[in-house]
Structure formats: structure tokens, C-alpha cells
Amino acid sequence: MSAERITLHGHDVHYRREGWGPPILLIHGVTGSSETWEDVIPFLSERHTVIAPDLLGHGDSAKPRGDYSLGAYASGIRDLMQALGHESATVVGHSLGGGVAMQFAYQFPEMCQRLVLVSSGGLGREVSIFLRAATLPGSEWVLPLLASNGVLSAGGRLGGVLRSIGLRAGPDLSEMWKGFSSLGDSEARQAFIYTLRGIVDPGGQRVSARDRLYLAQTVPTLLVWGERDPIIPVTHGYSAQKQVKHSRLEVIEDAGHFPYRDNPRRFAGILSDFIDTTQPAEADWDHLRELLRGGG
């Protein structure tokens, strides 16, 4: 993958771009980066232009003190797509990125050809105790100690803590470990706290798209979940599939919160088949107006 950089509104945004063809936009989750998609991009880029940004506050992108709401992330994605010359794309979001993808489709429906939600946030209250604990008052003082070099060097002990909340050896554990390690940087830690407290509180997820899911019927929608997701339960996927007319749900057996890492070839096959068998949405403002007036 070629790593590239662009400056938007005075902030560096790093992204990976590969392939040629109809565009696919991949949006990572909290504490993640575009690197999380490295196993699946080679399959997708055979027939598509794949664009995978590091969201602001993540990876190699800038980490300013600013707005880390879902709306701000969606606007940043819009600006990146416009700057790169893409008017629309199939939008794929994982975890936090699923919430960003839904917000993007809501704010800019004309730019979303298809919506793919992977172990997505924003579809139910339940979420891992680890993320709920990170929103508690004072967590900003505890995280620097936990993410310090001394604790990270004692990886076995921290790995035991992560396993105790349901993370298994493999992609779940390695991705969470990488994300946690990134919090040793004060700017990344600040962005993490701002982002997480905007969508999660000690009781669980505080932002929900369920009251607006009926609007997703205007765009082809695919939900992909790992059957053994310890972060966001697969029941959220089943519930959302019932609410979104004509949507598809694919559950990958023996996969966790990162199903595209557990089985990248199968994930790419599911996504490719979905693209091949659906027509890209076109914003129908009259239909959207009818849905809004009817409340679903």
C-alpha cells in the first residue's frame, strides 16, 4: 500500500491508497489506523480504488485539540474524498468507524453508494467494560501510567487483563494491544478520551442510530459481524438487520471484533459479492423527504 499525506484545514491527514476502479472507503475504529486493513486491501484493490485514512487523532494523522464528534469525523471524510477527486464511494466502517460511516451517509447521502457496517458502534447500548471504564472521571490520569513504557514492556500482564475481558489470542488481542500502545503519546491519548466520551459513558454506548435506521433503506446496506465479538455483541447486528429493509447480515463464525483480520479473504469475498449484486444508491431527495415526514 502507498502511504500518502494531504493537508486539510491546516492539519496533516495520512491515508493509504491502492488499486484502480470504483472507490471503496475504509474507516477504522477507535485507537486504530489505516494499518488495520492491510490484510484485506490486497484483495479489494484488484478491482477497486481502496482509500483508507487515518482519522484525525489516530495513526499518523494530526492530533489537534479540537472536535472529535462523529459529525466532525464525517465532515473530514467528505473533505478528503472531495480533495482526492471522488464524488462517492462504497463506505465501510468498523466499530467507531461504523458510527462515522452512518453519520457520513446521513450528512452526505449523495456521496454514499453503499453502506457497510462491520462490528459497528451506534446500534445498541452494550459495549466492552474496558471502553466503559476508560470514560470514568480521572481516566485521563490513569491512562498515561497504564500506557507507559514500563507497563507495556510487561506485556504478559497487560495481555492477561485484556484476555480477562474476553479478548482471545489473535487479531482481537493484537489490535487492542496496538491501539493501547498508541496511547503512550499524550496527543493520541487526548484524542482518544475526547472521542470515546462523545459516544460512550460508564453505562455503555450513549450515541444510537437506531431511531434513524429507517433512513438506511435508501442505500444498499451490509452488516458484517464476528460471531464471538467480545467488544460489541453480534446481537446488535441481528437487531439492525431487522430494522433496515433489504439489508444483509453476514456473521463470520469463530471471528471476534475484527472479522476482516480473522478471515480477510472471506471478508473481501463478502464485500465484493455485495458490491457486484447491488446498484449504487442515488440520492432521491423526494423519497428522503417522504421518509422523514412519515417517521419511518
Which has the closest alpha carbon to 127: 218, 53, 231, 47?
Answer: 231
Question: 233, 124 in Cβ contact below 8 A?
Answer: yes
- The single residue of 14, 48, 257, 262 carrying the catalytic annotation is 257
The CA-atom distances, in angstroms, between 24 and each of 13, 45, 163, 242, 252 are 18, 9, 33, 25, 21
Strand partners, 35: none
Strands (E) located in the chain: 2-8, 11-18, 23-27, 49-53, 89-94, 112-118, 200-201, 204-205, 221-226, 248-252
Report helix angle 171-181 to 155-164, nearest 10. Answer: 120
Amino acid at 139: S
3-state DSSP of 223-239: EEEECCCCCCCCHHHHH
Question: 105, 219 in Cβ contact below 8 A?
Answer: yes
Decide if 95 is catalytic. Answer: yes
**In this structure, what C-alpha cell is assigned to residue 23?**
472507490
Question: 128, 172 in Cβ contact below 8 A?
Answer: no
- The single residue of 95, 119, 120, 247 carrying the catalytic annotation is 95
Decide if 229 is catalytic. Answer: yes
Alpha helices in 84-222 (DSSP H): 96-107, 129-133, 139-146, 149-153, 155-164, 171-181, 186-199
Decide if 257 is catalytic. Answer: yes
- The single residue of 39, 54, 172, 229 carrying the catalytic annotation is 229
Q: List residues with catalytic annotation.
A: 95, 229, 257
